[in-house]
A = this chain, B = another copy of it.
Amino acid sequence: MATIKPSLAKGTRDFSPAEMEKRNYIFDTIKQVFAKYGYQEIQTPAFENLQTLTGKYGDEGDKLIFKILNSGEYLAKVPGNMLEERASVQLIPHISEKALRYDLTVPFARYVVMRQHEITLPFKRFQIQPVWRADRPQRGRYREFYQCDVDVVGSDSLLHEAEFILIYHEALTNLGLTDFTIKLNNRKILTGIAEVLGKPELIVAMTVAIDKLDKIGLDGVITELLDRGFSVDDLKKLQPIIQLQGDNIDKIRQLKRVLEPSATGLLGIEELETVMGYVERLTGDVALLNRFVDVDITLARGLNYYTGCIFEVKTNEVTMGSIGGGGRYDDLTGMFGLKGLTGVGVSFGADRIYDVLEELSLFPAGTRQSTQVLISNFDKLAELYALPLLYKLRNAGVAAELYPTAAKLKKQLSYADAKRIPYVLLIGEDEIQSGLLSLKDMRSGEQRRLTEANLIAHLTES
């Protein structure tokens, strides 16, 4: 077989030990919070039947689904005209019956429907797995990336919404972030606004426009709204709402006034109040809401999907897109024939959180996965001396290695350095005779002599 220069598939990444350690730190921290709130992990397969995925993500989404070629003589029964006409798109269902997971939501819906008779509702699950999209790769956008979703289905209690705020708060705080905003909106408020303006049919146009406030400013939004069919009169009514001032209570007071004529709009407000009331009652901390939660009616994420509360999380410590988001959807499983199951969920943008922690140097210095001590190996005698000690260290729970062959000190120290091993135990003739071993601290460079028992005690404590 010919030798080929190896490369990664476009848009994919390897993760080195150092990267894995940091990624696992993020996932473990988040998982721990999920578990404390009663969410349990599930996993679904990397590929699904193509028809399970097709039509769920819009036409553009369908194109970005990676299809898996059928095995064997996959062309045998293909309609001849499709081959003649090179009808790439039409041919797909004839030569591919499987496709890679595009998100975790559709497989979760499939899971719930298939197991509806064994699942006890409400069903609280989290799922952390890679998804694949045939997007054009660019900085920060990959063809393989992890999603980290947490959802509950089968309960309309707004306690869940409140708990998602606390889950974000606790997970991000545990990761070391101190200044972040959980933006909160409600689809019913957006519906209410469009109703009050007398243009319910323009709700999508309206929300798409005001969602851009951050990017194009108020003038830009106004221009776009006029283009999209709103009148100058409408804008007069709209302007005070899209630039709400004050804290959450002030904003809600202003919104209530404007939304008076819309029952749906008022219901949306009531939902926000209930959610915030839950947070306050749970934590007993009135200030928490004002510090971390921001009612923001320009938030229109996933409008066609969400039916109640909508969340989005941003860090204020570095410039970065949203690091999380989600909301309530009233019909998750309808696509698979199970109607009327409501759900609410959020997700964490693990790749972005990784970049944020990196930029803020928030990853813990202590290596959790790496070896704690490397025992040097200078000759056969030292090796024989070291072997039982190596075993004792590991039995005491210390991650330990013996350099596998006799080698120069410099080489062994480089190895420890590259692997960020904090201690090297030097065993030479002198140490063997005296029984006092030399422990070198790789960070400070300091060296101390210890008996075997003291060494083990020292390393199990550190």
A interface with B by C-beta (< 8 Å):
1, 3-9, 12-17, 20-21, 24, 35-38, 40-49, 51-52, 55-56, 63-64, 66-69, 71-76, 78, 83-84, 86-88, 91-92, 95-98, 100, 109-111, 113-115, 120, 122, 124-125, 130, 132, 134, 144, 152, 155-157, 159-160, 166, 278, 281-284, 334-337, 369-371, 384, 387-388, 390-391, 394, 397-402, 404-405, 414-415, 418-419
* Given A66-B69, A283-B388; 14 other pairs, CB 8 A cutoff: A1-B55, A6-B109, A6-B110, A6-B114, A8-B45, A9-B48, A9-B98, A14-B44, A16-B42, A20-B43, A37-B399, A38-B400, A75-B87, A78-B86
Given A14-B45, A45-B8, A55-B1, A399–B35 Cβ distance below 8 Å?
A: yes
Give the residues in chain B near A3, CB-CB below 8 Å: 334-337
Nearest neighbor of A158 in chain B, beta-carbon distance: B404
Is A42's CB under 8 angstroms from B69's CB? no
What are 17 of the A-B contact pairs (CB < 8 Å)?
A1-B56, A9-B49, A15-B42, A17-B40, A20-B43, A36-B400, A38-B371, A38-B401, A41-B369, A67-B68, A68-B69, A69-B69, A155-B404, A157-B405, A159-B402, A281-B388, A282-B387
Across-interface contacts of A115 in B (CB, < 8 A): 14, 16
Picked from B21, B40, B155, B282, the residue with its CB within 8 Å of the CB of A390 is B282
Q: Indicate whether A45 sits within 8 Å of B144 (C-beta atoms), given known contacts A74-B88, A160-B404.
A: yes
Q: Which residues of B contact A16 (CB under 8 A)?
A: 42, 115
Smallest CB separation, A108 vs chain B (Å): 10
A69 to B391: give the CA distance in the assembly, Å: 50
The binding surface of chain A is classed by DSSP as mixed
- Shortest Cβ distance from A17 into B: residue: B40
Q: How far is the CA of A37 from the CA of B393 in the complex (A)?
A: 10
* Cβ 8 A contact of A14, one of B42, B132, B418: B42
Q: How far is the CB of A32 from chain B (nearest CB, A)?
A: 9
Alpha-carbon distance A49/B125, docked complex (angstroms): 34
Query: What B residues does A76 contact at CB under 8 A?
Result: 86, 88
Pair A91/B63 contact, Cβ less than 8 Å: no
> A42, B17: Cβ atoms under 8 Å?
yes
What residue of chain B has the Cβ atom nearest to residue A388's Cβ?
A: B284
- Chain B residues lying within 8 Å of A63, measured Cβ to Cβ, are 71-72
Contact B45 A13 (CB under 8 A): yes
Q: Determine if B71 and A134 form an interchain contact, defined as CB atoms under 8 angstroms apart.
A: yes
Evaluate contact between A369 and B35: CB separation under 8 angstroms: yes
Could you say which of B41, B144, B281 contacts A46, with CB atoms under 8 Å apart? Answer: B144
A58 CB to closest chain B CB (Å) equals 11
Closest to A336 in B: B6
Q: Is the CB of B86 within 8 A of A419?
A: no
Residues of chain B within 8 A of A336, CB atoms compared: 3-6
| CB pair B37 A401 closer than 8 Å | yes
Most interface-central of A15, A20, A76, A88 (chain B CB within 10 A): A88
Question: In the docked arrangement, what's the CA distance between A334 and B1, Å?
Answer: 10
The distance in angstroms between the C-alpha atoms of A72 and B109, with both chains bound, is 28
A46 touches B92 (CB 8 A): no
A41 and B24 in contact, given A282-B387, A336-B4, A404-B155 (Cβ under 8 angstroms): yes
Q: How far is the CA of A83 from the CA of B81 in the complex (A)?
A: 11
